[in-house]
A and B are shown apart, each in its own frame.
Chain A
Amino acid sequence: MNKLIEVEQVSFAYEPGMNVLNQLSIAFAPGVTAVLGENGAGKTTLMKLLKGLLKPTAGRIKIGGRDTRQYSAAEIARHVGMIFQNPDEQIFKSSVLDEVMFGPLQIGQSPAEAKERALAALAALDLSDVEKENPYDLSYAARKRIGIASILAMNPEAIIFDEPTIAQDQQGLRRIGQIMSELKAEGKTVIAILHDMEFAARYCERIVLLARGGVIADGPPALVFANDDWLRQAGVKAPGLVRLGQALQLSQTTVTVEQFSQAFRTEKLRAD
C-alpha cells in the first residue's frame, strides 16, 4: 500500500480571513522528519489537520492515496497517531495502564492484546513501575511519556510527536530518540515537532522549516542547518555543533560530537 501522507495546497484559518496555513503542500514518507518553526508558526495546526482533528479551509489531505474526508475518525486513528504537545489534553483515565490501553481498545484490539501492547509501551518509556498510579499524581515529564506510550500501543503507521522532548531529562531524551529510531527501522512514518535543534539534528533525517504559513525549506539536516537565511526566516537556530563548526571554518557540517571531533581532527590537525 501507498504509505504517503500528502498535504495538497492546504489552507487553514481558525478565524475567517486569518490564514494560519496558506496553500501548504508537503508529503510525509516513512522515516523521521522534524518540523521546525517559530512559536505560532502553525506546526501543531498542521498536525491536527493530518490527524483529522481540524478540517482544511481549502485543499486536501490524502492518506495512502485516499482523501481523509472519506475516512472515519477511527480509521484515521488506525493510520495516524498523535502525541499532543500538552499531555493534559490527551490523558483522562485515572490509572496509567487504563490510559495506555484506552486507544488500543478503541481501535478494536482485544483486551488481552491491548494489555500486552500497553505493558510493552510502558516498559519502553520507563513507566512500568507506575502503571497503577493516577497520571495526574505523576510529573509533567512522566505524563508526556504516558502520552507517547498510549500512541505506541495503538501501533499506527504514522506517528506524530508534538514536542516530545518537553520537560525530559537526558535519560528521557535518549529513550524518546531511541524509540523514534526503532519506529523508523520498522518502516513507520515519524513526524516530530521540535524546538530542540540538537535532538532534531541527531534523530531526524529530514528537516522541514515552516514559516509564513508554508514550507520554506525541506532537506537533510546538514543542508538545512547550514543555510542561515532559511534558519533566520523560520526563526530557528542551527544546533550548537553546527555553529561551532562554522566559527572554526570547518568545511563539513557535523551534528554529533563524534562527527565534530573527527572533522576537527582531519581538517585542523591533519590526522585521522
Chain B
Amino acid sequence: MIRMQQFTYRYSEMARPALEGINLVIEPGECIGLLGSNGAGKTTLCYAIMGLIPHFFQGDLTGEVRVNNQPVAKMDLAAMSRQVGMVLQNAANQLSGTKMTVEEEIAFGLENFAIAQEEMRERVDWALEILGIAGIRKRNPYQLSGGQLQRVAIASVLVLKPQILLLDEPTSQLDPKGTEEVYQVLRQLRKEGITILLAEHKVEMLAQCCTRLIVLNEGKIMADASPHAVLGHPSLPDWGVEAPVFTQAYQAVVQPHHGEKVPITLRETIERLNQYEQAYRG
C-alpha cells in the first residue's frame, strides 16, 4: 500500500512546489493512470514514492509518503528497490553503464537480489521474450534504436518483479505493436496482484488498462476517480489533457448532455454509436 499525506515538495532551485498537498491512498493491486501536462508533477510523484525524493533530490518537503506502512524518508534506497521498481521517462538513464550486452544489462539488477543462477536465467529469458527483444540479447545496449533501448529499460525493471511498479511514460518511443504488448503485460501483472502506477499521455491505453485515473495540474490533484468519470469530465481540457479520440468522436456526433457516461474505449464507442444510430432511426 502507498499512502501520501499532505505531501508537498519543492525542488531547491524552483520557486513553486512541484507537488502540493497531495493526499493519496493506493491499495495493493490497483492499476492507476497518472495524467497531466508537461511539468504537472507526474515524474515528481513517482520519485516521491520511489524514495528518490528525499534521498536523492534536495528540496523542501512537508507531509509524508509511506510504502507498506514504512515512511519512505526513513528507508534506504536499496531496501526500497526490492519493493518498488521504476521505469524512467528517459530510457538512457536506466542503463547501468557497466554492461556490454542487452542480456547482461537486464540481469544487472538481479545480481544484487541473491537468487539462483537458474531462476535468474529464466527471468531474463521471460523479460526478453515479453518485450520482443530476444533477438537482440547479445547486442551492445549503446547501439540500439530508441525503441529497442526503451524495451531494454522496461525489461530491466520487470525482471525484478517488484510488488509496486512505477512507469514514467514507458511507451513513448515504442511502435504501436510494442505499446500494445507492454499494456498486455501490465494487464497480466495486474492480475497477479502487482500495484501499478503509470504516468502516460496515451489516454486510449490508460482507458483500457486502468482501474482509476489521477489528473495532476501544477502539482495538485484535479481529479481522482474512475476512468469514465475522469475522461468524460468537462474540465479535462482545462487540465491540459485530451479525452481519448473515441470519446471525442462520440461527443462530436451525439453531443451528450452534461453528466452522461461517455464511452472511452473503441469497443464501447462502437456499441454506443450503433445504439445511437438505431435510436435515431427508430
- Which residues of A does B touch, CB under 8 Å? 14, 37-40, 44, 85-86, 88, 137, 139-142, 163, 166-172, 195, 197-198, 235-237, 239-241, 243-244, 247-248, 257-258, 260-261, 264-265, 268-269
Chain B's nearest CB lies how many Å from the CB of A238? 9
> Known contacts being A44-B146, A170-B240, is A139 close to B177, with CB within 8 Å?
no
| Contact (Cβ within 8 A) B145 A139 | no
Judging by beta carbons under 8 Å apart, are A38 and B246 in contact? no
**In the complex, A241→B248 CA distance in Å?**
10
Q: Which of B48-56, B72-80, B218-226, B270-278 contacts A (4 or more CB under 8 A)?
A: B270-278
Instruction: Select which of B37, B245, B281 is within 8 A of A171 by beta carbon.
Output: B37
User: Is B143 a contact partner of A14 (Cβ separation < 8 A)?
Assistant: yes
Number of interface residues of B (CB under 8 A): 48
Chain A residues with CB below 8 A from B244, complex form: 240
B176 at the A/B interface (Cβ < 8 Å)?
A: yes
Residues B177 and A142 in contact, CB atoms below 8 Å apart: no
Q: Which residues of B contact A (CB under 8 A)?
A: 13, 36-39, 43, 89-90, 92, 136, 143-148, 151, 169, 172-180, 201, 204, 237, 240-242, 244-246, 248-249, 252-253, 266, 269-270, 273-274, 277, 280-281
Contact indicator A44/B245 (Cβ below 8 Å): no
CA distance A248 to B240 in the complex (A): 30
A43 to B186, CA, bound (A): 28
Contacts of B89 in A (CB 8 A): 140, 167
Given known A-B contacts A40-B147, A139-B38, A168-B38, A264 and B242 have beta carbons under 8 A apart = no
Contact flag A248-B273 (CB < 8 Å), given A168-B38, A171-B37 = yes
CA distance A216 to B196 in the complex (A): 38
The answer to whether B277 and A237 have CB atoms under 8 Å apart is no
**Which of A163, A235, A244, A258 is close to B173, meaning CB atoms less than 8 Å apart?**
A163
CB distance from A87 to the nearest CB of B (A): 10
Q: Could you tell me the distance between the alpha carbons of A40 and B102 in the complex, rounded to whole angstroms?
A: 15
Known: A40-B147, A195-B173. Is A243-B266 also a contact (CB below 8 A)?
yes
Contact A85 B175 (CB under 8 A): no
Instruction: Known contacts A40-B145, A44-B146, A260-B252; decide if A240 and B245 are in contact (CB<8 Å).
Output: yes
29 cross-chain CB contacts under 8 A: A38-B147, A38-B175, A38-B177, A38-B178, A39-B148, A39-B173, A39-B174, A39-B175, A40-B145, A44-B146, A85-B173, A88-B90, A166-B173, A167-B201, A169-B36, A170-B201, A172-B38, A195-B147, A195-B179, A236-B175, A240-B246, A244-B249, A244-B269, A248-B270, A257-B245, A258-B252, A260-B249, A268-B280, A269-B280
In Å, the complex CA distance between A240 and B270 comes to 11
B146 touches A235 (CB 8 A): no
A85-B146, A167-B38 known; A265+B253 contact, CB < 8 A: yes
User: What's the Cα separation between A168 and B246 when bound, in Å?
Assistant: 20
A193's nearest neighbour on chain B, judged by CB, is: B146
Known: A39-B178, A236-B175. A169 touches B249 (CB 8 A): no
Contacts of B151 in A (CB 8 A): 39
A170 in contact with B242 (CB, 8 Å): yes
Given the known interface contacts A39-B151, A85-B146, A139-B39, the answer about A264 and B253 at a Cβ–Cβ threshold of 8 Å is yes
Cross-chain contact of A257 among B90, B204, B252 (Cβ < 8 A): B252
Known contacts A171-B240, A241-B245; A235 and B176 CB within 8 A of each other = yes
A236 to B175, CA, bound (A): 7
A82 to chain B, nearest CB (A): 14
B273 contact from A141, A198, A240, A264, Cβ within 8 A: A264
With a cutoff of 8 Å between Cβ atoms, the chain B residues found around residue A37 in the complex are 175
**B37 and A169 contacting across the interface, CB-CB below 8 Å:** yes
Nearest Cβ on chain A to B22's Cβ, whole angstroms: 19
Docked complex Cα distance between A213 and B44 (Å)? 40
Q: What B residues does A244 contact at CB under 8 A?
A: 246, 249, 266, 269-270, 273
A88–B90 alpha-carbon span in the complex (Å): 10
Interfacial chain A residues near B43, Cβ < 8 Å: 139
B240 lies within 8 A of A40 (CB): no
With a CB–CB cut-off of 8 A, which chain A residues contact B274? 248
Task: Specify which of A167, A195, A261 is in contact with B169 (CB 8 Å cutoff).
Answer: A167
Q: Contacts A235-B175, A261-B249 given; 16 further ones with Cβ under 8 A?
A: A14-B143, A39-B145, A39-B175, A40-B147, A44-B145, A166-B172, A195-B179, A197-B176, A235-B177, A236-B177, A237-B176, A240-B245, A240-B246, A244-B266, A247-B270, A257-B252
Most buried by A among B179, B241, B246: B246
A234 CB → nearest B CB, Å: 9
